[in-house]
Amino acid sequence: MKQLFLVFIGGGTGSIARYLLSKVWNTSTTGIPYGTFTANILGSLIIGLILGWAIKNNTLSSNTTLLLATGFCGGFTTFSTFAYENHNFIKSGDLMQFAIYAIASFVVGILAVFGGMWIVKMT
């Protein structure tokens, strides 16, 4: 039961942080969902840092990893919103924005995870 509570608290906190980020950065002016992109990339970096630290130092408990990686990062990042935003790009015929957003999110997200783990490794 404690593990479920930790994921719940972390996920709620991550979701609130993503909501606030999206309110500020997802504007109708540009049409580009910068808030979602930032949350997904930042969340990828954070999970890379957390899991890199857990692997390198073996000091994070499984409960802390659940709270931060599964909970916070799971709530902060959002594949469903990313998929919906890409649906909107395709529906509106903006295939260039779709391609740039989808490819950049995928590539930069994976690089952010590797970057986070590399940062921990180098410290």
- Give 70-117 as a DSSP string: IIIIHHH--HHHHHHHHHHHHHTT-HHHHHHHHHHHHHHHHHHHHHHH
For residue 19, what pLDDT band results from cuts at 50, 70 and 90?
Answer: very high
14 DSSP assignment: H
Is residue 27's pLDDT more than 90?
A: no
Relative orientation angle of helices 79-91 and 95-122, to the nearest 10 degrees:
150
Q: Convert the pLDDT of each residue in 28-86 to its tens digit.
A: 787 889 999 999 999 999 999 999 999 999 889 999 999 999 999 999 999 999 999 99
Sequence ranges of the domains in the chain = 1-122
